[in-house]
A and B are shown apart, each in its own frame.
Chain A
Amino acid sequence: MTLAIWLQSILDGLVIGATVSLGAIGITLTYAILRFANFAHGEFITWGGYFALAVLGAVAGSQDLKALLGGPFEPFSFGWPLIVATLASILAASALALILDAIYFRRLRRAKIAIASVIGAFGAALVLRNLVVLGYGADPEYFSREIQIAIRFGPGLRITPDQIALVFVTALLVVSLHLFLTRTQMGRAMRGVRENPDLASVSGIDVAAVIRATWVIGASLAAVAGVLIGLTIQLRPSIGFDLLLPLFAAAVLGGIGSIYGAVLGGLVIGVSESLAVMLIGPEYRAAISFGVLFLILLVRPQGILGARA
Chain B
Amino acid sequence: MAEPALAVRALEAGYVRGVPILRGVGFDLAAGEILAILGPNGAGKSTLVRTIAGLVPRFAGEIRLAGASLADLPPHRVVAAGFAYVPQVANVFAELTVDENLALGGYTLKRGRAERAARVFELFPDLVAKRQAKAGRLSGGQRQMVAIGRALMVEPRVLALDEPSAGLAPIVVEQVFAMIRRVARSGVAVLVVEQNVRAALATADRALVLAEGVERLSGAAGDVAANAAIAEIYLGGAPAGASP
Q: Which residues of A contact B (CB under 8 A)?
A: 185, 188-189, 191-192, 195-196, 198-207
Contact = CB atoms under 8 A, between A and B. Distances in A.
Given A188-B104, A189-B107, A202 B87 contact: yes
A206 B76 contact: yes
B94 A189 contact: no
B55 interface: yes
| 6 pairs of A and B residues whose beta carbons are closest in the complex | A204-B108, A201-B75, A204-B79, A204-B107, A202-B85, A206-B76
The range of chain B's interface size is: 20 to 34
B105 A203 contact: yes
Contacts of B95: 191, 195
Nearest to B106: A204
Contact of B75 (A185, A189, A195, A202): A202
B55 A192 contact: no
Given A185-B103, A195-B94, A198-B55, 14 more contacts: A189-B104, A191-B93, A191-B100, A196-B93, A198-B87, A199-B91, A199-B92, A202-B84, A203-B150, A204-B76, A204-B79, A204-B105, A204-B154, A205-B104
Interface string B72-89: 001110111000110100
B107 A205 contact: yes
Contact of A199 (B54, B93, B103, B108): B93
B129 interface: no
Interface in B80-136: 80, 84-85, 87, 90-96, 100, 103-108
13 contacts: A185-B104, A188-B96, A191-B95, A192-B93, A195-B96, A196-B90, A198-B55, A198-B75, A198-B87, A199-B93, A202-B53, A202-B87, A203-B76
A189 B103 CA distance: 9
A145 B178 CA distance: 74
Contacts of B92: 199
Contacts of B107: 185, 189, 203-205
B53 to A, nearest CB: 5
Nearest to B81: A204
A207 B92 CA distance: 17
Nearest to B86: A202
A274 to B, nearest CB: 34
A191 B100 CA distance: 10
Contact of A205 (B53, B54, B76): B76
A203 B156 CA distance: 11
Nearest to A201: B75
Contacts of B104: 185, 188-189, 192, 200, 203, 205
Nearest to B95: A195
Q: Name, among B80, B93, B150, the residue most crowded by chain A CB atoms within 10 Å (CB to CB).
A: B93
Q: Name, among B54, B75, B78, B100, the residue most crowded by chain A CB atoms within 10 Å (CB to CB).
A: B75
A200 B74 CA distance: 12
A204 to B, nearest CB: 4
A195 B96 CA distance: 9
Contacts of A188: 96, 100, 103-104
Interface string B158-173: 0000000000000000
A185 B150 CA distance: 14
B76 A201 contact: yes
A199 B88 CA distance: 11
